[in-house]
Copies of this chain bind each other. A is one copy, B any other.
């Protein structure tokens, strides 16, 4: 089956990329842009930066120790997209493979001398994923041969050791290779890598073992921690192993970790990772807006994990989070022209970033889409995800068809073909036209935010609660199933333990998080307070923007930004803020001028920064 994830067990089964065809629309347009622009953009930059030249033996070697993996991620994208450049790039890679299957342009001198930071198995993981994609989408060729030889080398070298890699990903790659080839030692190797972790299997590092999830065995952890991409890739690989080996304990462990992570360590956008310093999840409820790291790749990894858990369990929660992340992380990173990308996805920019040219260090350039980074995982990761996007839209529940995500598309499953028409996420109406019919069930997901949704078919309309709503019938061409999701904008408030955004609200509409952006003549975002009330809608160029009422309160600039009152009625301000004020007034900032009312234009978060450098806020202080 042509699909990035094809488990042999689980509640749902994938349909295959060939069974889901995207039409023009929110996602179809992005998939086209990927095929037509992004993949070539990545290829050009990797040539320019020498990361492909490394495979040709060009010296000095360029790029970071894991740069080989970028070529592999792009090969995977090319495989799914049927990009004509694949054979040439595959041949370049193949030429660098050594006789015993070893392949790494950085470590060919001094193999496996640094498991903590060397990334050799990580690179194999992406190479194998590319090989799997090619096998499924095309069949055997040079790339698939290279990948199998690499996998065989890995099994030979590591089956009986206690070693593993500082950066997980090889686990899910090996399970996928097992799925497509049936070769059981790949599954066994993956299982061992998962089980080794946290025994511990790696040396101590200055960031601590939790950084690469080597602090605890996978099945004993309670929450995702450490480097977000590493944690999510590892979890995805563990789900793959659990599903193929029937290891329910392992599956449930990951489910619990996911639940705790989503309940306490996830940004409103679905983004994961709070810390810049080590690209990690922070502690529970450590979710700063301005310094949210929310790496694009962590969003992609989260979608990969949620998709696996969805297939395994059929639970709508996983699709809910995947949708949130698709619209608010994956769609946010690339610029509208597909030629620059966010690496991090903060929820607040206090000051418009300075424009930067050329290759930008991934550690800086926050709030700025850049053409390329010194660590450029995100563009390639987006490319491979957009190239396999149809895999996420729908799945089979036996004979029944389940649709998780809404986009104009045609979906086929065992003699039933539906043509989905929708202007989602701008409109909440989704119509499934039966093109080819048979008796059976069609389940449509009602997102958790969609209170008041209705399902209409066969002349009747009924309420459709959150989760999957099922329409059963003897479907004939011309039949229609209509789902209406209420698309009213809504205010959203954080758990009180999310200290960073206390006293703030955000606006969501459908699956989209909105933000205020100060790119033009908008009021300075540090000085507005919003007045909750239904935001007005305004559609421009097919995009729904919102207008919120707010008041603009001039700053009370003081020499010291903290003001004291005594613990009784008639306290006094600190030296720098002389006005009389009692405690509650000081707390409420009521001594500030009342401000004047302004209209705050709010745009979908995924579109921010496309009008030039800007300040931005998702979370807005309440008046």
Residues on A facing B (Cβ under 8 Å)? 206-208, 259, 262-264, 266, 268, 275-278, 282-291, 317, 320, 348, 350-351, 354, 361, 363-364, 374, 448-449, 451, 466, 488-506, 508, 526-527, 532-535, 553, 555-568, 571-572, 574-576, 583-584, 586-587, 589, 592, 619, 621-622
Contact = CB atoms under 8 A, between A and B. Distances in A.
Nearest to A351: B283
A623 to B, nearest CB: 10
B493 A587 contact: yes
Contact of A574 (B448, B556, B563, B567): B448
A568 B533 CA distance: 6
Nearest to A495: B561
A492 B562 contact: yes
A584 B622 CA distance: 10
Contacts of A288: 288, 291, 500
13 contacts: A284-B350, A286-B291, A287-B561, A317-B559, A490-B566, A490-B567, A491-B571, A495-B563, A496-B621, A502-B502, A532-B583, A532-B587, A534-B566
A586 B290 contact: no
Contacts of A374: 206
Contacts of A586: 491, 493
A572 B448 CA distance: 12
B532 A363 contact: no
A30 to B, nearest CB: 26
Contacts of A502: 501-504, 621
A561 B488 contact: no
A207 B364 contact: yes
A29 to B, nearest CB: 28
A622 B499 CA distance: 12
A356 to B, nearest CB: 9
Given A206-B364, A566-B534, A568-B533, A559 B262 contact: yes
A496 B560 contact: no
Nearest to A284: B350
Contacts of A494: 561-562
Contact of A562 (B284, B286, B495, B589): B495
Scoring A275, A488, A496, A506 by chain B CB atoms within 10 A of each residue's CB, the highest score goes to A496
A466 to B, nearest CB: 5
Contacts of A526: 284-285, 497
Nearest to A622: B587
Question: 3 tightest A-B contacts by CB?
Answer: A448-B575, A534-B567, A206-B361
Nearest to A210: B354
B564 A449 contact: yes
A583 B491 contact: yes
Given A534-B568, A567-B533, A496 B277 contact: no
A564 B208 contact: no
Nearest to A571: B490
A584 B348 CA distance: 23
A284 B615 CA distance: 13
A188 to B, nearest CB: 34
A532 B587 CA distance: 10
Contacts of A553: 496
Contacts of A495: 556, 558, 561-563
Contacts of A285: 350, 526, 561
Could you say which of A557, A560, A561, A576 has the most chain B C-beta atoms within 10 Å of its C-beta? A561
B561 A489 contact: no
Contacts of A264: 561
B493 A572 contact: no
A350 B283 contact: yes
B290 A499 contact: yes
A572 B490 CA distance: 10
A576 B534 CA distance: 22
Nearest to A494: B562
Given A491-B564, A503-B587, A532-B583, 16 more contacts: A206-B374, A275-B291, A276-B276, A285-B526, A288-B500, A290-B499, A291-B291, A317-B559, A449-B574, A466-B575, A488-B566, A489-B567, A493-B562, A495-B558, A495-B561, A532-B584
A208 B448 contact: no
Contacts of A277: 276-277, 363
A583 B449 CA distance: 15
A116 B500 CA distance: 35
A495 to B, nearest CB: 4
A224 to B, nearest CB: 15
Given A291-B291, A499-B348, A500-B288, A491 B565 contact: yes
A263 B566 contact: no
A364 B275 contact: no
Contact of A363 (B207, B263, B290): B207
A283 B354 CA distance: 13
A567 B535 contact: yes
Given A499-B348, A526-B497, A575-B448, A563 B492 contact: yes
A394 to B, nearest CB: 21
Contact of A565 (B286, B493, B557): B493
A320 B559 CA distance: 12
A443 to B, nearest CB: 17
